[in-house]
Structures are given as structure tokens and as C-alpha cells.
Structure 1
Amino acid sequence: MRHAGRALACLALLSSLAVAAPAAAQDDGVAPLPDDFLWGVSSSGFQSEGNGPDSNWLRYTEEQEDKEDVGASVDFRHRYAEDIALAADMGVEVYRFGIEWARVEPAPGAWDQAELAYYDDVVRHVLDAGMTPMITLNHWVHPGWVADQGGWRSEETLRDFTAYAESIVERYAGLGVMWVTFNEPTLYVYHEIDNGAATWLDAPWLFDRLARAHSAAYDFIHEADPGAMVTSNLAFIPLTPWLFDAAFIDRIAHELDFVGIDYYMGVSLDNLTAARTLTGGLADAQPDGIYYALRYYANKFPDLPLYIVENGMATHDGAARPDGLSRAEFIEDHVYWLQRAREDGIDVIGYNYWSITDNYEWGSYTPRFGLYTVDVQGDPSLTRVPTSGVDAYAAVIADGGVPAGYDPVVPESVCSLIDPPLSCLVPAS
């Protein structure tokens, strides 16, 4: 019945075209994004800080042979001033980072003042650089003592997370922070199951507690920091996005100030390479998919603005990609489709590139996403080396996007399957 309902809804959208049917491309090309469009970079605590305290993910890396040790990672813990300055030099306006619950509360009710002071200084550096902090409260990582009580299988964790979130929010209220409660909750639950901390039978209860935890945090943020904008960013999964939405985002839709979207790959009749990721390969980039993902959520949540909280391109240890795309071309092509989305009436208000530097990709240092590449395993100095993405991103930020006559490197897909059948039957062109 859900499939039938979805098909009927798509047919209805075809007849009413509203946001779903964009205007034809203009002869004079794409217009710049508005001055208040937010350009950002993303990162997370566990992936970049290094030398983390006891947590669920530190245990996974230490106990499972298929995962590399995280070690010092790119040492954001001690080099945050450098990385924040690199972002500011590009003209970045939003700096997303995560506060690690395990760092600030290493035991129940015991707050580590030195680690809180560290995050105070991170926030201060972001603000002093003229950027807005976007703070993630939970990026898949919780303290070891929370894991010992069953993680999100336990009602205690809902109570403990709420107390942690309230303490952090109260600390930074009034500073113009944008808040992300949970990073990609559907993948958070998947990884807990995949790593043996929960079972598929536990999934409904995990999602229920995560949704209630988001709601509690959302309410407190608006009580303590009324002007703040709050989201829980979602991992966009093509083909059946509505199925994954039902697990979490649909439950909290009334408690979002913007829809945070993480877009990494697409699927179309002429690009089925997403299947490569099942065996650790790299999918060919499909930049126009970001347009269809935005259009899907513009139709689903017409009263909420949209923000690409993560979008990035991986290489394997810096080697050339199978699709031959450079990081600069990846950024420019995706920004082009953001501009197309705005021209077609889609209220997309911001874009964060993932990530400012390479980092620990949940078990491996092989995938490299950074605007600045860092050879964690081969360079003891952890030198930040700029990729082609640095100049390209600085240019699109300065210009509000790509030039009007920009011709995307990756051609528009043939029958996008981002949100079928609509994304195929009503193409952007």
C-alpha cells in the first residue's frame, strides 16, 4: 500500500507541477546564489580530534580486526585553530564540528572541565573568525559508560543524553549557534547493529528513543536559545528516500527549523555505480542528484528551508577516481545544481562541504574527503596539503556560485532514480 500511495502522489505532482516541475533552463545560465546563502565546511569530533576517551566507537576500533586504529587522527584536538583559520581563509561562513559526549562527561555526572574549556576555545575561534558555529551534539559516538548500560537500547540513555544536551546548549546559548541534534540517525542505528551493539529487533526502540531525545533537545534549545535553528541531518538514500524517512525524520518533522540533508551519491539509468560501495568501491559522482534530492524534500516539507549539511567526494588515498573527477570539478558541478534549485523556487539556504580535512572514516583512513589532504599514516607532521578543492570552493563562495555560462563536467543523468518515478519523468531540464 505504501508503494501504491507513493506512485499516486507522484502522479498528482506531475499534474500540479508547482515546485516539482522546474522552469526550463534560462538562456543566460544560472544566477548567483543570494548574499545570505550560507557556505560551510563540516567535520566531526571522533573522526578528526584523535586520542579519544572510552566510547562505543573507540571500542569498535580496538576490538575489531577489520578496523584501523584511530590514533591521533588529524589531531583537531590540538590543531583546531589552524583548521578554523584555513576555513576562514576560503571565506567559509559556517563551521560545523561535533562535541564529543565521551570527552566532556567521561563518567556519569562527572564533567571534565579541561575538555569543556577546549570546546569553549573552539567556539571562540569560530566566532572570532567571523563564522557561525554549527554544533553536532551526537555524531554516532557515545561514552563507554553509556555503551555499558546498553546504549540506546536503554531508557537511561535517553535521560542521560538529555542532561548532556541541556548542559551543552546552556553553555553556548545566545552565541548564534546552529544545532544538529543527531547526525544521520538511520545510519547511527545501522552502525550500532552492524557493530554488534544492538540487533534488528532493537531498531524500533532505538529510533523511538532517538526521536524522543531530539524532541527534548529541540524544546530545550528553543527555551534556552529562542532564535537558534535546529535540525537532525539525514543521510539521503536514493531510490526509496520515503522508506528511510519513515524511520526517523517523519517523526520529528514538526520539530525542525530546517531540513539538513547529506548528499553523496545518486542512481540513474546511465549510472548504476552506487552498487560499487557495497564492496568498498567508489560510485561515480552524480551531481544533478543533489537537485532531485532537494526537490523531493521541498515537496515533502514545503514550509521548511533546506540545507546541504554534508556533501563530499572520496578518493582512495588520494588516487585518481574511476570517474576521473577532480575535487574542484565535483564542487563546481554540485554548486551549479544548487543554483538551478534556487532558480526553480527551492528554498535551499546553505551548503557544507565534507570535510575541511581528511579524517578517520569509521574504520579506515583510505577514503580521503578533505579539501586539505592529510596523510595520517605516512606523515608524522600531519601537514594540511591543499587540494584543487580549496581554490574552487573559495571561488564559488566569493562569486555566489559558478559563472552564468558554466557547463557541468558531469552530464545530466538519463532518468534519475533519486526519487522515482518523479525524478525520471519530470527532469530538471
Structure 2
Amino acid sequence: MLVGGPVVPQARTAPAPSPAPLPADFSWGVASSGFQSEGSSPDSNWTRYIRAGRTHEPIGTSVDFRHRYADDIRLAARLGTRVYRVGVEWARLEPRPGVVDPTAMRYYDAVVDEIRAQGMRPMITIDHWVYPGWVADRGGWADARTPGWWLRNARRVVDHFADRDPLWVTINEPTAYVMQELRMGGIAPARVPAMLDGLVAVHRAIYDHIHRRQPNAMVTSNAAYIPAAESVLDTGFLDRVRDKLDFVGIDYYYSVSPARSQTWRVATDEPWAAPVAADGLYYALRYFGRRHPGKPLYVVEAGMPTRDGAARPDHYRRADHLRDEVYWLQRARADGLDVIGYNYWSLTDNYEWGSYTTRFGLYTVDIGSDRSLTRRPTDAVAAYRSLIRGNGVPGGYRPTRPAEVCSLVDAPTSCTQPVR
């Protein structure tokens, strides 16, 4: 139920609706990226940022998904997931201009085929912020030729995998991609508009190519939802490709409200100290539902960071946060939002763009101290398995944390029209 008008403090003991289970065909999944989890990284913009000392630590082996993909995919299958998101790394496929590494293509064949063999549908990300070193040599996204090189590789990937019927993510978090390139020195501030224009152009072009090769394809580009700022950020990319989206991909992590003063930590090296509020997912979904009427919504990434797997300062446990998010997702569907899927980020801990300290994994991996890279289940593994088996939280479930009195996730409507 939505309430209009000014915010009225709500009694915490007031009964809340018990949401219905999600539909039988709901897409439960896990998400990962190539560069962050594979290890054995080839020359790329990001290996160069690391060598230049712009990160806290080197990537090394990461969790060695490159050689342990079959075991990880089986872990996901045992959860009951139906979708496994992976990246196909341009830098690995095309180490030199116009030269395709057949070993790399066979590796990605094996990954995608194993996902399908375990009864899951692959979700393939074409660009997860990483491009080959030879593109970096030419200026990266500052070079007007980069969109053409990008499309040559992307068409190759689509032509090769379209018969496996994957879901497609063309570009991971385009606005965040631009901000990362700016932060790491990949582009100068004056080139930001050109990079956005290039990302819009390649998304539109590859969307059409995917549908020529896979007519019933489902294609998106996932947006990193930034509370209180998304409507402005969307003008740079998402609004310009709205006619080339089969569903709206959403990444949701952090909240903001007058009562939570640590939101700024998202932009620091301590994201585990930034506030998270599961009800914010409801407002993010409502925002995209209103902005893109008629489009299905898919939570392509969602999760909660910890520091080296330790308890968070707010004492929110991963399992509780996961159940609370799914509760609010069910409430969003009950209120008429066409939410079709949810991917947890991530199956295992990985390289969080410069450091292994921040951890999101359902399975934790002590990359710096455990040479065996053992996958150890967190409390969220059993929780996710139960959620998938029941298609959501059970009847009568109540979130472990109350909804924000005045959430600013989608200001001002998330504050003036709160969900009870």
C-alpha cells in the first residue's frame, strides 16, 4: 500500500502485508564478472591501472574462476539458481588487434556449456569495464575508433553464443563505467560526453545485431542505481536507449535517509560502513517501473559488503539482508511491478576493483591467506537456497529491520509516498 501526502511516523508494531510467493518462472540467479573472478588476467586497461599503482593491491589469481569454473557453477546449481551471469572478456579474446585467441574462445565455450549442463541459463555480459591493452594504447574510449573495435568484438561474441539462448547485458553499469575510467585516468574530464555517446551508440548497434541472430533475445544494460541522483544520471545513457531494452537491468546496493549520515562512505575505501536498507530496493524498482512503463524489471546485481568477512558495524547479517531484500522485492511485485528476476552479487568474493578487502560473496574466499582458495559458505547460502525453494520469504515473514521513516532513495517520492 502506498500512502500519499506528508510523511507520518509509523508504528513499528503495525501489521504489514504478507507478500505472495514469486511466480514459478521467476529467474533466481547469481552474478559475476570475468576480470574480477577469473585471475590470470591478460593485458588490459585494468591490469595497467594496477601496475601503475592506482589500486590498493594486485589482482593475482583472484578466486581463479579461470580454472575452477566448473566447481563454482555446480555450487550455484546446488542453490537452485536458474541464471548464472558471466562476462566474456574482450581482452582475453582479442589480445592483439584482429587476432582472436582460440584457447580463450574454447574456455568461454566450456563455461557457457557447463552453465547450461547444470540446468541454468547463461547471462552474458559483453563489457564489464575492461578492454584490451592495445585499445588503451590508442586512448581507450577517448579514441573515436574504439566503438568500431568494440562492435567487431561484440558481434563475434554474439555470433558465437546466440545459439545457446543467453540473456544479454551489453555494458555493465555504463554511468559507473565512465566514472571509473575518469577516476583511474582512462579518460580526461573533457572526454566524458564522448565516452557516453560511444556507449550509447554501441549498445544500440549490438542490440539490433543480437536480435538478428537471436530473435527472441532478452537484452539489457544494467544501471547502477544511485540513490537521489538516478533521474539525472539516466539522461546520459539509459534514457537514450530506452527503445533498445527488452528489460530494465537494475543494480541496487546502498540507501540514503536523513537518519543515516554515513552514506558518503560508498565513495571511500570503506563501503562496508555505508548504510544499507533493504526497503530501498522497493523504491528503486518503483522508480524504474514508473520511468519505463511496460518494461520488465530484473535485479541484475544486489548484495551487501563486509570487511574481510567480519561483522558489519551495523550488525546486519548477510542472510538477514538477503531475506529482507527478497521480502521487499515480493512487495514490489504485489504492488504491480513486473519484476522477473534477481541475481545475487556475488557467488564468491572477488576483486572489487582494486582490493580484496570488500567482500560480497555467498561463499567467502580468503584470497590473500588461503592458497587453496577454499569456498566457505556464509550464512546466506542456506538462506538463498531456502528462498529459491520457496520462491520467496514464507507467509508471515517480517523484515529484520524496519523500513526507513523517510527514505531518500527515490527522493522525494520515496519520502512522501512511503511503503508501509
TM-score class, shorter: over 0.9
User: 4+ runs of 1 displaced by more than 4 Å?
Assistant: 13-16, 25-28
- Please say if residues 3 and 419 of structure 2, whose CA atoms lie closer than 8 Å, have aligned partners that are also in contact: no
Taking the aligned partners of 2:4 and 2:383, their CA distance within structure 1 comes to 39
* CA deviation after TM superposition for structure 1 residue 191, in Å: 1.0
* CA deviation after TM superposition for structure 1 residue 277, in Å: 2.4
Taking the aligned partners of 1:76 and 1:67, their CA distance within structure 2 comes to 21
- Is 1:245 equivalent to 2:269 in the alignment? no
- Please say if residues 284 and 322 of structure 1, whose CA atoms lie closer than 8 Å, have aligned partners that are also in contact: no
- Is 1:72 equivalent to 2:61 in the alignment? yes
Cα deviation code 1:45-68 (max 9, x no counterpart): 000000111000010011115431
* CA deviation after TM superposition for structure 1 residue 409, in Å: 0.9
- Could you tell me which residue of structure 1 aligns to residue 284 of structure 2? 293
- Could you tell me which residue of structure 1 aligns to residue 339 of structure 2? 348
Cα deviation code 1:319-366 (max 9, x no counterpart): 110110111001000000000000000111100000000000000000
Q: Report 1:223-262 matches (<5 A).
A: 223-262=212-251
Taking the aligned partners of 1:111 and 1:29, their CA distance within structure 2 comes to 53
- Could you tell me which residue of structure 1 aligns to residue 30 of structure 2? 41
Taking the aligned partners of 1:279 and 1:119, their CA distance within structure 2 comes to 34
Letter of the 1:243 partner, please give it: V
SS in 2 for 1:174: helix
Letter of the 2:386 partner, please give it: A
- Please say if residues 372 and 390 of structure 1, whose CA atoms lie closer than 8 Å, have aligned partners that are also in contact: yes
Across the aligned residues of Structure 1 and Structure 2, the Cα RMSD in angstroms comes to: 1.5
Q: Report 1:305-384 matches (<5 A).
A: 305-384=296-375
SS in 1 for 2:114: helix
* CA deviation after TM superposition for structure 1 residue 28, in Å: 5.8
- Could you tell me which residue of structure 2 aligns to residue 405 of structure 1? 396
* CA deviation after TM superposition for structure 1 residue 14, in Å: 8.9
Letter of the 1:393 partner, please give it: Y
Which of 112, 117, 123 is 2:106 aligned to?
117
Cα deviation code 1:196-248 (max 9, x no counterpart): 12111110000000100101110100001111100000100001211110111
Which of 385, 389, 392 is 2:380 aligned to?
389
- Please say if residues 296 and 339 of structure 2, whose CA atoms lie closer than 8 Å, have aligned partners that are also in contact: yes
Q: Report 1:168-247 matches (<5 A).
A: 168-247=157-236
SS in 2 for 1:96: strand
SS in 2 for 1:260: strand
* CA deviation after TM superposition for structure 1 residue 152, in Å: 1.0
- Please say if residues 14 and 422 of structure 1, whose CA atoms lie closer than 8 Å, have aligned partners that are also in contact: no
* CA deviation after TM superposition for structure 1 residue 15, in Å: 8.0
Taking the aligned partners of 1:251 and 1:165, their CA distance within structure 2 comes to 20
- Could you tell me which residue of structure 2 aligns to residue 424 of structure 1? 415
Taking the aligned partners of 2:312 and 2:379, their CA distance within structure 1 comes to 14
Taking the aligned partners of 2:308 and 2:171, their CA distance within structure 1 comes to 29
Taking the aligned partners of 1:358 and 1:104, their CA distance within structure 2 comes to 24
Cα deviation code 1:119-154 (max 9, x no counterpart): 000010000000000000000000001111111111
SS in 2 for 1:247: coil
Taking the aligned partners of 1:394 and 1:136, their CA distance within structure 2 comes to 25
- Please say if residues 365 and 376 of structure 2, whose CA atoms lie closer than 8 Å, have aligned partners that are also in contact: yes
Letter of the 1:379 partner, please give it: D
- Please say if residues 262 and 311 of structure 1, whose CA atoms lie closer than 8 Å, have aligned partners that are also in contact: yes
* CA deviation after TM superposition for structure 1 residue 269, in Å: 2.1
* CA deviation after TM superposition for structure 1 residue 280, in Å: 2.2
Letter of the 2:108 partner, please give it: Y
* CA deviation after TM superposition for structure 1 residue 187, in Å: 1.0
Please list every run of 5 or more consecutive structure 1 residues that lacks an aligned counterpart in the other structure. Answer: 1-12, 17-24
| TM-score, structure 2 as length reference | 0.95
In structure 2, relative to structure 1, the CA distance for the partners of 1:15 and 1:413 (3 Å cut) is: closer
Please list every run of 5 or more consecutive structure 2 residues that lacks an aligned counterpart in the other structure. Answer: 6-13
In structure 2, relative to structure 1, the CA distance for the partners of 1:26 and 1:324 (3 Å cut) is: closer
Taking the aligned partners of 1:207 and 1:317, their CA distance within structure 2 comes to 34
Q: How many residues align?
A: 409
Cα deviation code 1:152-210 (max 9, x no counterpart): 11121100110101111011112220000000011111111111121111100000001
- Could you tell me which residue of structure 1 aligns to residue 153 of structure 2? 164
Taking the aligned partners of 1:97 and 1:367, their CA distance within structure 2 comes to 20
SS in 2 for 1:308: strand
- Could you tell me which residue of structure 2 aligns to residue 57 of structure 1? 46
**Identity rate of aligned residues, in percent?**
54
- Please say if residues 289 and 297 of structure 2, whose CA atoms lie closer than 8 Å, have aligned partners that are also in contact: yes
* CA deviation after TM superposition for structure 1 residue 44, in Å: 0.3
